[in-house]
Amino acid sequence: MTSFLTTARNQNARLLQAIHELPFNRDLAAGTLQQDRFRHYLVQDGLYLTDYARALAALAAKAPNAELIAQFAANAAGAVHFEQEMQHSYLSKFGVDRAVAQSTERSPTCLGYTSFLLAEAQTGSYETLLAALLPCFSVYAEVGTAIAQQSVPNNPFALWIETYASDEFQAAVRAAETAADAAAEKAHAELRQRMLALFRKSVEFEWMFWDAAYRLEAWPTAAWR
């Protein structure tokens, strides 16, 4: 049987290509991304990462054996650690106060993505939650590597790019992908279909997250508060 990851990648080939071609990622690689767009991304991603860590901790709780519990718990701790590092080095570099960042409201897209992941964390199984979380690993590994290859010298966003292109992150991604393939192999056909649907939804949210930052997405209803 074709591995889950191969099937999932093939089914989402057009969407993944569209992610590589997003103006946000193109400008990031060129080092020309407008600062307000990167700031929007950083602040929303800080909010995202905390909920992502919660979902990973739930995945650790649902995992079938001690090794996988430790693996996903380490990923959860890593996401929190990274969020804290990012806030220190990057938010100050781009002139955002950490307290202000943390009290910013989630954009519609950020709220959509984190609510989707946390709903799956609450009501889903190990297999479905893992499938929903996998694009957070795989898409960033792929985009990070691609941007690192295209990046200009002295790119102001080098630290962001290096994080996702790093051997450490890539190794964590491979481990999550191996776990997903193993889970899907044991899953019955209907569960495997459900996993593929959740994977796709998260890839769509990944596209939307960068697009939202590029558009400086806000609540269209804010004017009537």
Tell me which residues touch ligand HMH (CB under 6 A): 45, 48-49, 136, 140, 206, 209
Minimum CB separation of residue 113 from ligand HMH in Å reads 6
Tell me the two tokens of residue 47. Answer: 């909010």
- DSSP letter at 20 equals H
Nearer to ligand HMH, 143 or 195 (CB): 143
- DSSP letter at 92 equals H
Nearer to ligand HMH, 108 or 191 (CB): 108
Q: Are 164 and 141 in contact (CB under 8 A)?
A: yes
Nearer to ligand HMH, 48 or 72 (CB): 48
Q: Which of 5, 26, 33, 4 is nearest to 138 (CA)?
A: 5
Tell me the two tokens of residue 194. Answer: 């459900």
Minimum CB separation of residue 184 from ligand HMH in Å reads 21
Minimum CB separation of residue 46 from ligand HMH in Å reads 9
Nearer to ligand HMH, 177 or 206 (CB): 206
Minimum CB separation of residue 1 from ligand HMH in Å reads 28
Nearer to ligand HMH, 90 or 126 (CB): 90
Minimum CB separation of residue 208 from ligand HMH in Å reads 9
Q: How far apart are CA 128 and CA 108, in angstroms?
A: 23
Nearer to ligand HMH, 157 or 209 (CB): 209
Nearer to ligand HMH, 49 or 179 (CB): 49
Minimum CB separation of residue 168 from ligand HMH in Å reads 12
Residue whose CB is nearest to ligand HMH in the complex, by number:
136
Minimum CB separation of residue 209 from ligand HMH in Å reads 4
Q: Which amino acid is at 101?
A: A
